[in-house]
Structure 1
Amino acid sequence: MQPRAHSVPAVVQTSIPVAMWLAASLLVACGEPLVPGAGEDAPGTSRAALTELVVNGTFANGVTTPWWSGANTQSLVENGRLRVNVAGGTVNRWDALIGQDDIPLVSGRAYTLAFTASASANVPIRATVQIEPSPYTATLDQTVTLDGTARRFTFPFTSSLGTSLGQVTFQFGGSGAFTLYLDDITLTTETGSGPIALTSGFYVDPNSNPAVWVNNNGGDARAARIQAHIASKPGARWFGNWSGDIASAVSGFVSAADAADKLPVLVAYNIPGRDCGSHSSGGAGSPEAYRAWISSFVTGLGTRPAIVIIEPDAVAQLDCLPNDTERQTRLGLLRYATEQLRDRAPNTWAYLDGGNATWIAADTLAQRLESGGVRNIRGFSLNVSNYIPTAQSNTYGAAVSAALNTRYGYTKPWVVDTSRNGNGSNGEWCNPAGRKLGVTSQVGGGADLLLWIKVPGDSDGQCGIAPTVPAGTFSPDLAIRLIDGT
Structure 2
Amino acid sequence: MAGTYGDLVDNGTFSNGTTGWWSGTPTMVSLAAPDNGLEASATTDAISLWDAPFGQDDITLRQGVLYTVSFTARASQAGTDLRLQIGLGAAPWTAALDKTVTLTTADTHFVFQFTSTLSTTAGQISFQMGQGTEVTVYLTEVCLTCSTVREGFYTDPDSNAMKWIDQNPQDPRAPLILKALARRPGARWFGDWTTDVRAEVDAYVTAAAAVGTLPIVVAYNMYNRDNGGESSGGARTPDAYRSWIDAFASGIGDRPALVIIEPDSLAQAEYLPTETARSERYSLVAHAARTLTTGPRVRAYLDGANAAWLKPSEMVGRLIKGGITATRGFAVGVANFDATDISCSYGQQVVTELANRGVAGARFVIDTSRNGHGAVDDNGQHVDYCNPAGRRLGVPSSVGVGGAEYLLWIKVPGDSDGQCGVAPPGTPAGVFSPYLAERLILGR
Shorter chain as normaliser: what TM range? 0.5 to 0.7
* 1:463 matched residue in structure 2: 420
* 2:398 matched residue in structure 1: 442
- Write the distance in 2 (CA, Å) between the matches of 1:203 and 1:409: 31
CA deviation after TM superposition for structure 1 residue 191, in Å: 3.5
| Counterpart residue identity of residue 353, structure 2 | A
TM-score by length of 1: 0.60
Contact 2:197 2:251 (8 Å CA) reproduced: yes
Contact 2:148 2:256 (8 Å CA) reproduced: no
Task: Determine if the alignment matches structure 1 residue 355 to structure 2 residue 279.
Answer: no
Taking structure 1 as reference, are residues 449 and 194 closer, same or farther at Cα in structure 2, changes over 3 Å only? farther
CA deviation after TM superposition for structure 1 residue 228, in Å: 0.1
Larger radius of gyration: 2
CA deviation after TM superposition for structure 1 residue 411, in Å: 3.0
Contact 1:108 1:443 (8 Å CA) reproduced: no
Count of residues in correspondence between the two structures: 301
Contact 1:436 1:484 (8 Å CA) reproduced: yes
Superposed CA offset, 1:56-83 (max 9, x none):
xxxxxxxxxxxxxxxxxxxxxxxxxxxx
Match of 1:275 among 214, 218, 226: 226
- Write the distance in 2 (CA, Å) between the matches of 1:241 and 1:322: 23
- Compare relative contact order (CA 8 Å, sep 6+) and give the higher one, 1 or 2: 1
Task: Determine if the alignment matches structure 1 residue 366 to structure 2 residue 322.
Answer: no
- Write the distance in 2 (CA, Å) between the matches of 1:370 and 1:470: 33
- Write the distance in 2 (CA, Å) between the matches of 1:220 and 1:341: 40
- Percent identity, aligned pairs only, is 49
Contact 1:304 1:347 (8 Å CA) reproduced: yes
Match of 1:321 among 272, 281, 285: 272
Match of 2:384 among 413, 420, 428: 428
* 1:288 matched residue in structure 2: 239
Superposed CA offset, 1:193-250 (max 9, x none):
9987476111010000001111111101000000000000001000001001110010
Contact 2:146 2:212 (8 Å CA) reproduced: no
- Write the distance in 1 (CA, Å) between the matches of 2:64 and 2:171: 40
Alignment of 1:193-232 (within 5 A): 197=148, 200-232=151-183
- Write the distance in 1 (CA, Å) between the matches of 2:193 and 2:149: 30
Contact 2:147 2:212 (8 Å CA) reproduced: no
Gaps of 5+ in 1: 1-105, 110-188
Contact 1:210 1:474 (8 Å CA) reproduced: yes
Q: Secondary structure of 2:357's match?
A: helix
CA deviation after TM superposition for structure 1 residue 480, in Å: 0.5
Taking structure 1 as reference, are residues 448 and 281 closer, same or farther at Cα in structure 2, changes over 3 Å only? same
| Counterpart residue identity of residue 429, structure 2 | A
Superposed CA offset, 1:11-70 (max 9, x none):
xxxxxxxxxxxxxxxxxxxxxxxxxxxxxxxxxxxxxxxxxxxxxxxxxxxxxxxxxxxx
Taking structure 1 as reference, are residues 108 and 387 closer, same or farther at Cα in structure 2, changes over 3 Å only? farther
| Counterpart residue identity of residue 115, structure 2 | T
TM-score by length of 2: 0.65
Which runs of 4 or more aligned residues in structure 1 lie more than 4 Å from their structure 2 counterparts after TM superposition?
A: 106-109, 192-196
Alignment of 1:145-184 (within 5 A): none
Gaps of 5+ in 2: 1-62, 67-112, 117-143, 377-382
Task: Determine if the alignment matches structure 1 residue 453 to structure 2 residue 426.
Answer: no
- Write the distance in 1 (CA, Å) between the matches of 2:339 and 2:436: 20
Task: Determine if the alignment matches structure 1 residue 375 to structure 2 residue 325.
Answer: yes
Contact 1:199 1:261 (8 Å CA) reproduced: no
